[in-house]
Amino acid sequence: MELEQREGTMAAVGFEEFSAPPGSELALPPLFGGHILESELETEVEFVSGGLGGSGLRERDEEEEAARGRRRRQRELNRRKYQALGRRCREIEQVNERVLNRLHQVQRITRRLQQERSSAPSLSCFLSTKGRASIMRPWRG
């Protein structure tokens, strides 16, 4: 397509050079060499005392940045909590292992004492509170 150049005016561009993607409905003919779609017509403009919505955009950017900062801090806090819980879990596992080892040790001692009692039947002699001697059979549990 040929471009026409006139003195003091913009270059005219042929309509065929700007094809719209299928399914996009043109609301207006090409303007400044491009298409304006219906979705582009519905732009929101905020009017503030200082002019167009520049400060509104700044506020929104600041809010988004603050939200990102809060999310970042929350992730860091969650990461620290997770690490602390992991350390505490490992400590508890170590304590449980020591308790279990002690339990096995006590069980071995108990078994040995029971075997000693059952293998050596003897009479026990002890003094009662009144000073009399009593003879008793060994205790079997």
Is 131 part of a structural domain of the chain?
Answer: no
Mean pLDDT within 57-64:
90
> Please, are residues 119 and 113 in contact by the beta-carbon 8 Å criterion?
no
Q: Over the range 104-123, which residues count as b (16 or more CB within 10 Å of their CB) and which as e?
A: eeeeeeeeeeeeeeeeeeee
Q: Are residues 53 and 39 in the same domain?
A: no
Is 117 part of a structural domain of the chain?
Answer: no
Both tokens of 4, joined, read 């026409």
64/2: higher pLDDT: 64
> Please, are residues 52 and 45 in contact by the beta-carbon 8 Å criterion?
yes
| Structural domain containing residue 38 | 11-43
Residue 110 has pLDDT above 90, yes or no: yes
Q: Are residues 33 and 55 in the same domain?
A: no
Residue-wise pLDDT for 25-41, tens only, equals 545 555 555 555 555 55
Domains in the chain, number: 2
Could you tell me the sign of the dihedral formed by the alpha carbons of 97, 102, 106, 108, in that order?
positive
Q: Are residues 50 and 36 in the same domain?
A: no
Q: Are residues 58 and 83 in the same domain?
A: yes
Is 79 part of a structural domain of the chain?
Answer: yes
Cα 140 → chain centroid: 58
Q: Are residues 70 and 33 in the same domain?
A: no
Q: How many CB atoms lie within 10 A of CB 53?
A: 15
Q: Are residues 78 and 64 in the same domain?
A: yes
Mean pLDDT within 34-62:
63
Q: Are residues 58 and 100 in the same domain?
A: yes
Both tokens of 136, joined, read 């008793």
